[in-house]
Homo-oligomer: A and B are copies of this chain.
Amino acid sequence: MDMREKKLNGKVIFDGKVVKVELDEVLCPNGNKSFREVVRHHGGAAILCVTPDDKILLEKQFRYAYDEVIYEIPAGKLEKGEDPYQAALRELEEETGNKAEELIHLTDVYPTCGYSSEVIHLYLALNTKKTKTHFDDDEIIETYEVPLDEAKEMILDGRIKDAKTIVAITYYLMKYKN
């Protein structure tokens, strides 16, 4: 059965710097009509940086929507049409002062499929070189090196709650440390 919904009509509610919000009326395959609230987003790139002694880079950053300081791997949003690989290289260096010669693609993750179009591209960085950080004007980030085993504990006890961070760490463990 074709599960697709057809757009009947739609309007742009808000066109911001980060998100574009649309409200579409759709026809469901069972003949019912419904509305879909869609948050359009250009996507993001996030980097799991693992040191030779099995530590990972974790950032602490205040996240306004949660009113909370949380742990995350380095990440940044893409400009429209931007190559996620290049964005990942740039964000890793700007936010942590670590330059990677190359990145390994881990997987792509759909953070919240019910209303957002965002895709987060996850990469692995090994053997990075120290350079220097370069933050945006409204970006305040502290970076820590955390042993992989400790990061695993932080997921299990709920200290790490960020989805891309949990997916990157557990994906890496499953693929490379099993």
Q: Which residues of A contact B (CB under 8 A)?
A: 1, 3-5, 13-14, 16-19, 21, 23-24, 26, 28-30, 32, 34-41, 44, 60-67, 69-70, 72, 77, 107-120, 137-138, 140, 142, 152, 155-156, 158, 161-164, 166-167, 170-171, 173-175
Interface of A is mostly: mixed
Complex: A63 Cα to B119 Cα, angstroms: 13
Minimum CB distance partner of A76 in chain B: B114
| Nearest CB of B to A40, in Å | 8
Copies of this protein in the assembly total 2
Q: Which residues of B contact A156 (CB under 8 A)?
A: 107, 171, 174-175
Judge whether A69 and B3 touch: CB under 8 Å. yes
Complex: A69 Cα to B5 Cα, angstroms: 10
| Nearest CB of B to A64, in Å | 4
Q: Which residues of B contact A32 (CB under 8 A)?
A: 137-138
Q: Which residues of B contact A66 (CB under 8 A)?
A: 110, 113, 117
Judge whether B167 and A163 touch: CB under 8 Å. yes
Q: From B24, B61, B175, give the contact of A64 (CB < 8 A).
A: B24
